[in-house]
Amino acid sequence: MGKTLYQKVWDAHKVGILPDGRTQLFIATHFMHEVTSPQAFGMLRDLGLKVIHPERTFATVDHIIPTDDQSEPLADERAEAMLREIRKNCAENGIRMFDMPSGLQGIVHMVGPELGITQPGMTIVCGDSHTATHGAFGSIAMGIGTTQVRDVLATQTLAQTPLKVRNVRVEGKLRPGVTAKDVALHIIGLLGANGGLGYAYEFGGSTIDAMSMDERLTLCNLAIEGAARCGYINPDETTFEYIKGRLFAPTGQAWDEAVARWKSFASDPDAVYDDIVTISAEDIAPTVTWGISPDQNIGIDQTVPSPDDAANADTRKATVEALQYMKLEPGSRIKGLPVQVCFIGSCTNGRISDFRTVAHYIKGRKVAPGIKALAVPGSQMTAKQCEEEGIADIFREAGFEWRLAGCSMCLAMNPDKLVGDQVCASSSNRNFKGRQGSPTGRTLLMSPVMVAAAALTGKVSDAREIFNIH
Ligand code: SF4
């Protein structure tokens, strides 16, 4: 009987079975940022323990970093304290940190892939929910809590129970103007925000096979929004091509050996899954969230649902709550809803291809009067590339504020925040209440090109119409 990639990676990293029945799993790579690591180091110190494999942990700063003025000390004292703390902890423990002066700083889930640290067949963890992003390379990548960060630092292992594997297959050619973000939102809408509980999602099918690595990263990034602890894609030539030549990629003979090993991790053709879901690419439209959970989404031409149409009492309650918070009427159109803020960035859609695509469409055009439009590259490497290719200038000339690398308005643990009940068209991954910094702020998740269309028109718009995409 064939095995899935999940089973193969699991078996390759199994250290043993613990007395409570869980598996002790070796962790190949540990990523770290400034928010969830200080307490872990504190616990380590209290226990008198050392970091066992400092060479397997990589740190950066992203959540709290301002994207306009990064002069130090940072204006926000708490942010400055976190910055000092991670620098100290990394220096004391011999951990490599991609700090702001390095030119390699950025959102942790962008830095790993861009530097070639993220590779197929790895077990990868980070004290951050969106660690699933790294699964795009064919690794088991999971978000962990602070005590688990401590455990990984101390032992380079983690106590885990295996997940079931759901094969989510998307077949066919995407319609023009439909992106990986739309695919991800569509899947979450179909399977539910809790539909992936207890599962790893293996994304496959001809649509996924045809995706670039940037698109695959977007898709896996959102696996956790469907409650799948991790999402992954089998490694193929697209994967290897992306990794080749990056800073941490193997070279020479080691490269050939690595590719052979990486290929061996791909799911067998006769692998057995706990569940299989097949979706037709044709059915996916440019998708926008209308509610306060990523699964509360609709195609751009659809109307906001009514509680009366809810399948059960729980969905009805959730719909009522979301409509109230979002100040939307049942049956109203999402298209045409005025927005005040537009944000392109985050670990979901802050990559070079996102900015290239949007730049192509907005060149020579202007952001609508009164709209605050932010473009925030997810990493310094991406920012540099955007400058070199003239992309940053296209954004600036269009009226976007072109910012420095960081999480920015995805989470608003930095000065980029919504004010009052502003509506934000956002390329990020969470539309929870208050997520973007104002307790009454409203987030509409969509693809970067849809955010760009909203920025140019001042309202939720169909990018296909605005940019003549056919
Ligand atoms: S961009 Fe958003 S989701 Fe990604 S790591 Fe930063 S805060 Fe988390």
Residue where a domain terminates, one of 201, 231, 264: 264
The whole-angstrom separation of Cα 355 and Cα 395 is 9
How many CA atoms are closer than 13 Å to the CA of 12, on its beta-carbon side?
A: 20
Three-state DSSP state, 26: strand
Ligand 1 centroid–CA 18 distance in Å is: 33
Domain that holds residue 361: 287-466
Please give the number of the atom of ligand 1 that sits closest to the Cα of 350. Answer: 1
Q: Is the separation of the CB atoms in 83 and 100 below 8 Å?
A: no
Residue with tokens 């050996």: 257
Characterize 279-308 residue by residue with b for buried, 16 or more Cβ atoms within 10 angstroms of its Cβ, and e for exposed: bebeebbbbbbbbbbbbbbbbbeebbbeee
The answer to whether residue 426 sits within a structural domain is yes
Strand partners, 277: 168
CA distances from 335 to 273, 283, 392, 447, 465 (A): 39, 19, 28, 14, 12
Closest alpha carbon to 189 in 319, 294, 316: 294
The CATH number of residue 404's host domain is 3.30.499.10
Same domain flag for 89 and 12: yes
Ligand 1 centroid–CA 346 distance in Å is: 6
> Using omega within 30 degrees of 0 as the cis cutoff, is the peptide bond preceding 307 cis?
no
Residue from 31, 407, 413, 417 whose mutation best tests the ligand 1 pocket (most atoms within 8 A of CB): 407
Same domain flag for 260 and 292: no
Ligand 1 centroid–CA 63 distance in Å is: 7
Give me the torsion for CA of 362, 366, 369, 371, rounded to 10°. 30
Same domain flag for 106 and 172: yes
The answer to whether residue 280 sits within a structural domain is no
Closest alpha carbon to 199 in 231, 246, 235: 231
Backbone angles phi, psi at 333, to 5 degrees: -85, 140
Same domain flag for 421 and 358: yes
Same domain flag for 298 and 189: no
Tell me if 142 CB under 6 Å of ligand 1: no
Q: What is the pLDDT along the chain (470 residues), one digit of tens a residue?
A: 899 999 999 999 999 999 999 999 999 999 999 999 999 999 999 999 999 999 999 999 999 999 999 999 999 999 999 999 999 999 999 999 999 999 999 999 999 999 999 999 999 999 999 999 999 999 999 999 999 999 999 999 999 999 999 999 999 999 999 999 999 999 999 999 999 999 999 999 999 999 999 999 999 999 999 999 999 999 999 999 999 999 999 999 999 999 999 999 999 999 999 999 999 999 999 999 999 999 999 999 999 999 999 999 999 999 999 999 999 999 999 999 999 999 999 999 999 999 999 999 999 999 999 999 999 999 999 999 999 999 999 999 999 999 999 999 999 899 999 999 999 999 999 999 999 999 999 999 999 999 999 999 999 999 999 999 99
Tell me if 134 CB under 6 Å of ligand 1: no
In this prediction the pTM is 0.98
The whole-angstrom separation of Cα 352 and Cα 388 is 12
The answer to whether residue 278 sits within a structural domain is no
Same domain flag for 215 and 302: no
Ligand 1 centroid–CA 407 distance in Å is: 5
Same domain flag for 47 and 185: yes
The answer to whether residue 282 sits within a structural domain is no
Ligand 1 centroid–CA 72 distance in Å is: 22
Tell me if 411 CB under 6 Å of ligand 1: yes
The whole-angstrom separation of Cα 431 and Cα 257 is 43
Q: Taking the mean position of all CA atoms in its chain, how far away is CA 398?
A: 26
Same domain flag for 335 and 411: yes
Annotated binding site for [4Fe-4S] cluster: 347, 407, 410
